[in-house]
Amino acid sequence: MEYSQLVHLYENLDSTSKRLEKTYFLAEALKQADKESLPMLVLLVQGRVFPGWDESKIGIASQLMVKAISAASGTSPSAVEAEWKNSGDLGIAAERLLNKKRQRALLSSELTVAKVFDNIRSLAGIEGKGSVERKLQLIAELLSSASALEARYITKTVLEQLRVGVSSGTLRDALVWAFFPKIIGILHRCPHCSSLVPNTKSCVACRAAMAGKFSEAKEPKAIEVNSLNEADYNRISSRDILMPGDEALARGIYNHFLDSVQQAYDMSNDFAVVAEKLAASGPAGLKDTRLSVGAPIKVMLGPKVDTVGEAFKVTGRPAAVEFKYDGFRMQIHKDKGMFRVFTRRLENVTAQFPEVEGYVNKHVRGTSFILDSEAVGYDPKTLRYKPFQEISQRIKRKYDIKKLAEELPVELNVFDIMYYNRKNMISEPFKKRRELLEGIITPEKRQLVLAQQEVTSDEGEAEAFFKKSLAHGNEGIMFKNLNAPYKPGARVGYMVKYKSAMETLDLVIVGAEWGEGKRARWLSSFTLACRSGRGFLEIGRVGTGIKEKEEQGVSFEQLTKMLKPLVTSEKGRYVTVNPQVVVEVKFEEIQASPTYSSGFALRFPRLLQLRDDRSASDTTELSYIKKLYLSQRHRAGKKSDS
């Protein structure tokens, strides 16, 4: 596959904000890709060359990219920096400078997706003497063979800044459109160009007006389907067109197909693997997808609720009620001689927690398994539990690991199991998974224990358990549906969390402003954003709660060091940064505000701590902020009535 074809896809994806159009463009590209290029294409449209669970980083700084653009374009590094400052985007700067170059190198050839992918992926493994020169050579080789437009996207991919609006949901839908039978009612035949396209006002393929209705759809070669069982893709071809009896059935069949792709992704945590299976064996091939010990999966998440009654309404009665610990998630993988520990962000922290392997070997029976747990820090002298912020430094530590493990030890609280002795457990009900844990774990306090749990239908008992959890220094309690499967990466109502009254938000930093006076060398005012669909919306700025000395807590210098490599543009004193650094923020009130893109602003925000265990995709959703805003207005109304 030529790289120019992928760039054409990037341009199409970047030209629209409409999800249906993005899905169509992506599905068409997936269908046309050869089998070798397909998994690369799936990763590259996500701006990656490694799957999400792989902690490998390309690791190219902007200044090295400036040198590569300089070498490829024949301009000086200072000229590249001037163009970068003018455009605010190094990718656009590369495009403009390469566009001024009269012709490509005489010996250059058309770039392929495989060549671009292999060169960029190789960058992550280059180390040692002469590594900078070798990296520069690999990047410059690509840019010298690239068109100006290709250079823009190569630059963004190398810097890990490529964003064309492809969410996991869009990619999942596109795989269904590309490799499953086409469903009339989900797709419609354009009367002008005859393409099967989503039912939008104008055809995505030819832009002619469309006004088709399901009742008017005619597809002579379609297979009539009157029940979900008839849509069994073991009996139909991915090339078939299905004509369901009505729109509701069309949606039901489509959701069935989506679930098949989602389940395969939940197992592999890699859409490239899913795409390869679909291309090789069609939809039926997804049944062979298995959990792989050593490859982390996204953890199941629980939305917040405001009352015990609301918790029972979501999970049903009786429910398992467990302590919600003030620690950080640990996903533990063991298989014969292999042992790995991953965080909620799927970072490999095995080396940072050397004691964990000993705890697991001592207290958990089994040859191969994947466990879900919470690591809680404690004081080795008093044995009292410590809050998350005091032990979070262990996650990133690269030196003095043994010493820090002695000073800040952790206790593992195990609460779920996804795989055991060659058997996938995620489809088993939670009650059965808990029973398995109770049978294979020999608990020992301050090493490895089962999460404290009560099974109850009574709200009074749940409230008493909540108070007990708080008395132990925990955040609150979790409610879990006893019959629910383990659903990786989802907040699906199988479990919810009920916390103490003080509300905090996990927000991502998207911008900052250089300080003045004695803070002139630091970033000092930080723009915060919440999550909304595939993007982020600003909700305010924070400058309080941040210290001037690192030993006092999260400092201006620490945040500046973290954010400087993430800067994507600079205008005056204000910088825009890639949304990667997540912080926990408390506030006095949420206010409606036209100032910020979310429509809300935080009154008196204060930074509490860094959330190293959170990624940008874990930040608080706008829908939850709206819920908090409405609930505080409701409380205010009650006060004014009394």
For the chain, what percent of residues have pLDDT higher than 70?
95
Residue 199's pLDDT band (cuts 50, 70, 90): confident
Q: Is the residue at 618 inside a domain?
A: yes
Assigned domain for 303 exists: no
pLDDT category at 521 given cuts 50, 70, 90 is confident
pLDDT the model gives residue 167: 86
Count of domains for the chain? 4
Same domain, 96 and 110: yes
User: Does 177 lie in the same domain as 150?
Assistant: no
Tell whether 493 and 607 lie within a shared domain: no
427 and 516 in a single domain? The answer is: no
This model's pTM is above 0.85: no
Q: Report if residue 453 sits inside a domain.
A: yes
pLDDT at 526: 97
Neighbours of 514 (CB within 10 A): 17
Which own/partner pairs from 239-246 qualify as long-range (CB within 8 Å, at least 24 positions apart)? 239/181, 240/181, 240/182, 241/181, 241/182, 241/183, 241/184, 241/196, 242/181, 242/182, 242/183, 242/184, 243/184, 243/217, 243/219, 244/183, 244/184, 244/185, 246/214
Does residue 288 lie in a domain region?
Answer: no
CATH at 580 = 2.40.50.140
Average pLDDT over the chain reads 90
State the pLDDT at residue 522: 92
| Of residues 378 and 490, more confidently modeled | 378
Q: What pLDDT, on the 0 to 100 scale, is given for residue 473? A: 83
Q: What pLDDT band is residue 640 in, cutting at 50, 70 and 90?
A: very low
Please report whether residue 245 resides in a domain.
yes
Q: Which of 339, 471, 352, 488 is nearest to 416 (CA)?
A: 488
Q: Which domain holds residue 49?
A: 3-158
More confident residue, 200 or 231: 200
Q: At what angle do helices 308-315 and 459-471 cross, to 10 degrees?
A: 110
Give the CATH number for residue 105: 1.10.3260.10
Q: How is residue 337 annotated by DSSP?
A: T
Task: Name the residue with higher pLDDT: 12 or 640.
Answer: 12
Residues 509 and 486 in one domain: no
Under the banding of pLDDT at 50, 70 and 90, the label for residue 589 is: confident
Q: Is residue 281 part of a domain?
A: no
pLDDT band at 518 (very low <50, low <70, confident <90, very high): confident
Q: Quick one: 513 and 494 in the same domain?
A: no
Do residues 475 and 513 both lie within one domain?
A: no
Q: Residue 286 — pLDDT band, cuts 50, 70, 90?
A: very high
Out of 226, 255, 275, pick the residue that ends a domain: 275
CA distance 255 to 231: 11
Q: Using 50, 70 and 90 to split pLDDT, how confident is the model at 486? A: very high
- Does 573 fall in a domain? yes
314 and 421, same domain (yes or no): yes
* Mean pLDDT value of segment 302-323: 94
> CA–CA distance from 139 to each of 9, 67, 77, 487 (Å)?
22, 10, 15, 40
Q: What pLDDT shows up at residue 193?
A: 93
**3-state DSSP call for residue 508?**
strand
Position 629 scores a pLDDT of 87
- Which of 158, 190, 213 is the C-terminal boundary of a domain? 158
pLDDT tens, residue by residue, 101-110:
755 444 456 8
619 vs 60: CA distance, rounded Å: 26
Task: Among 123-137, 199-213, 256-270, name the one with the lowest average pLDDT.
Answer: 199-213
Residue at token pair 């410059």: 140
pLDDT of residue 550: 81
Confidence of residue 502 (pLDDT cuts 50, 70, 90): low
Same domain for 406 and 382, yes or no, is: yes
User: What pLDDT was estimated at residue 153?
Assistant: 97
Of the chain, the percentage scoring pLDDT greater than 90 comes to: 69
My answer on whether 560 and 415 are in the same domain is: no
What is residue 634's predicted lDDT score, i.e. its pLDDT? 52
By the 8 A CB rule, do 407 and 414 touch? no
What gap in Å lies between CA 341 and CA 487, rounded to an integer? 20
Which one of 456, 483, 499 terminates a domain?
A: 499
As a whole number, mean pLDDT of residues 54-81 equals 93
The more confident residue out of 102 and 21 is: 21
Q: Is 547:554 a contact under the CB 8 Å cutoff?
A: yes
CATH number for the domain harbouring residue 469: 3.30.470.30
CA nearest neighbour of 335 among 361, 298, 372, 299: 361
Please check the confidence at residue 311 and state whether its pLDDT lies above 90: yes
* Catalytic residue numbers, as ranges: 324
If pLDDT is split at 50, 70 and 90, which confidence band does 39 have? very high
Q: What is the pLDDT of residue 326?
A: 87
- Co-location of 539 and 570 in the same domain: yes
Q: How confident is the model at residue 639 (pLDDT cuts 50, 70, 90)?
A: very low
| pLDDT value, residue 226 | 87
Judge if 230 and 328 occupy the same domain.
Answer: no
What is the amino acid identity at position 608?
L
**pLDDT at position 569:** 84
